[in-house]
Amino acid sequence: MSYGDTEPSEFHGGEARGALPLAPVNRVTFDRRELNRIFGLYGRKVAAGEWRDYAIDFLKDRAVFSVFRRAAEVPVYRIEKSPKLARRQGAYSVISATGLIVRRGHELDPVLRAIDQSLSVVAG
């Protein structure tokens, strides 16, 4: 080993030179604010006993957060972010287990309200 060389044991995780980033540039992802909002809703639904599991998929054309009642079932809802639809119907959508688009829009919060009944106000 010559001067300036490093030992392989000195690298931790993704610190190696030339290491690929965790989320490749050609994939759509949720940002921290979006994930905070989605996980806030998910936590309330888990506490209420309605949801039990989730999956996140980062694809080339969209990011998908799927929620399940049981791990072995189809997702109850899919929360999708599709940037290519941002100028038309809106980048965010909530899709039911049957494939029905529950709500679509340009901002995440109003779209999530379609499945978050805890935030709705009842006038009396």
Among 76, 106, 77, CA closest to 90: 106
Spatial distance between the Cα atoms of 14 and 19, rounded to a whole number of angstroms: 6
Q: Cα separation of 107 and 15, whole Å?
A: 35
pLDDT bin (cut points 50, 70, 90) of residue 14 is very low
The predicted model scores a pTM of 0.72
Q: Judge whether 46 and 71 are in contact, CB under 8 Å.
A: no
Q: For residues 123 and 108, what is the distance between their CA atoms, to the nearest angstrom?
A: 24
CB 111 within 8 A of CB 78: no
Q: How confident is the model at residue 10 (pLDDT cuts 50, 70, 90)?
A: very low
CA-wise closest residue to 88 among 104, 108, 69:
104
Report the DSSP beta bridge partners of residue 94. 79, 103
Residue 47, CB-side half-sphere exposure with 13 Å CA sphere:
7
Strand ranges (DSSP E) for the chain?
Answer: 53-58, 63-68, 77-81, 92-96, 101-105
Paired residues of 63 in beta bridges = 58, 81
pLDDT digits 0-9 by tens, 88-97: 888 999 999 9
Q: What is the per-residue pLDDT across 105-124, written as a single tens digit (0 to 9) for each? A: 999 999 999 998 754 455 55
